[in-house]
Amino acid sequence: MKNKHHYVAIMAGGIGSRFWPMSRTAYPKQFLDVLNTGKTLVQWTYDRYAKFMPAENIFIVTSEEYVEIVKEQLPLLPIENILAEPSRKNTAPCIAYISFKLAQIDPEATFIVAPSDHLILEEAAFEATAMQALDFVENIKALATLGIKPTQPNTGYGYIQFEGHEVAKGIYKVKTFTEKPSLEIAQTFLASGDFLWNAGIFAWKVSTILAAFEKHQPEMFELFDHEKHHFNTPQEKQAIQKIYPQCVNISIDIAIMEKADNVYVIPSSFGWSDLGTWNSAYDNMEKDYFSNAVASDNVVVIDATKCMINAPKDKLVVVQGLDDFIVVDTKDVLLICSKEKEQSIKEYVAEVKRNKGDKYI
């Protein structure tokens, strides 16, 4: 039985620059079929929550410029459930917006906040963990987050340290948050056994998160609180356009989670990947006999191994002699990059922008 007071806010406003050149500012990775599955990442995310959330309780927070793409890709989503941000201000303003809006719709709301572009392979395990988080925060003034049990010392993720004793079954108080660590520190974290990857998936009661904004981000709280009577009215867009330019650009982790003392974590395992890079896409795709992951039906691979290849379906691409490379071909850009240099793709995009302007960004 779906609970009418349960909601989800899916954040779909990012640019996904590490998936360039497939992901562009005008059409970023959450709206692409990165893994060649027949569904885009935002469609996978929507479908995942629709299994245990009332359809009318699913909200998408995105950038103004992507509203039409969201409508096209999620035709079942009510139009009033698409929240359009006038500018990118990171996750804290985005979460403040949906929190104030939901508080007007349903003061009893409990909701999950989740990214639109993550991969979750074990959906039944994820649903059980999400319900556990929602049930926990419903009865206690807690901010909950899902922490992923780490499988290797990954330096691309933030880490959450938790205390040793359970406060409820499978739920622990958070001790510290750490931004992306060095390899040496990540190895120490893994060995200690009390650190988890920060998946950026949260659950809380709307009243609890608003109280946290009031305490830890009073200026941002004031901005939204002053205009909240316009939410869910024809004046909402105007109100948001007034608020956003005054909001500080800050993540929810730094704005609230690192400051609050009522933060709890559920150590989780449900086949999660943040799909942040071409290497993470490679890790989650089927490989051929020579460990190449090919996302296209029109690629011929000769004497190449361990490559990630993505190409348009209407173009023949022949790859010969490459070992451990990323090859991404689009209608106007070809990227050939060593896999070990994938963290530098953002720098290459900046270089392209300096030399060629915004045309290829």
Question: What global pTM score does this model have?
Answer: 0.93
What is the rounded CA–CA span in Å between residue 146 and residue 133? 8
Separation in Å, CA 240 to CA 9, 44, 94, 229? 17, 28, 11, 12
As a whole number of angstroms, the distance between CA 18 and CA 28 comes to: 10
On whether the CB atoms of residues 159 and 199 are closer than 8 A, the answer is no
Whether residue 221 contacts residue 255, with contact meaning beta carbons closer than 8 Å, is answered with no
Distances (CA, A) of 228 to 59, 98, 99, 103, 249: 18, 11, 10, 9, 20
pLDDT of residue 152: 86
Q: What is the CATH number of domain 6-273?
A: 3.90.550.10
Q: What is the mean pLDDT, run by run of 10 residues, along the chain of 361 residues?
A: 89 90 93 91 96 94 96 95 94 96 95 94 94 94 94 87 89 90 87 89 97 97 96 94 95 94 94 89 93 93 96 93 96 95 91 94 93
Query: What's the pLDDT at 197?
Result: 92
> What residues contact residue 227 under an 8 Å CB cut-off, 6+ apart?
239, 240, 242, 243
3-state secondary structure of 331: coil
pLDDT score for 1 = 66
Helix (H) or strand (E) holding 237: helix 236-243
pLDDT at 190: 85
pLDDT score at 48: 95
Phi first, then psi, for residue 9 (nearest 5°) are -115, 115
Q: Where are the domains of the chain?
A: 6-273, 281-356
Bridge pairing between strands 143-148 and 263-268 = parallel
The whole-number pLDDT of residue 138 equals 92
Q: Which of 268, 287, 50, 57 is nearest to 150 (CA)?
A: 268
Question: Residues 6 or more apart from 294 whose CB is under 8 A from it?
Answer: 288, 301, 309
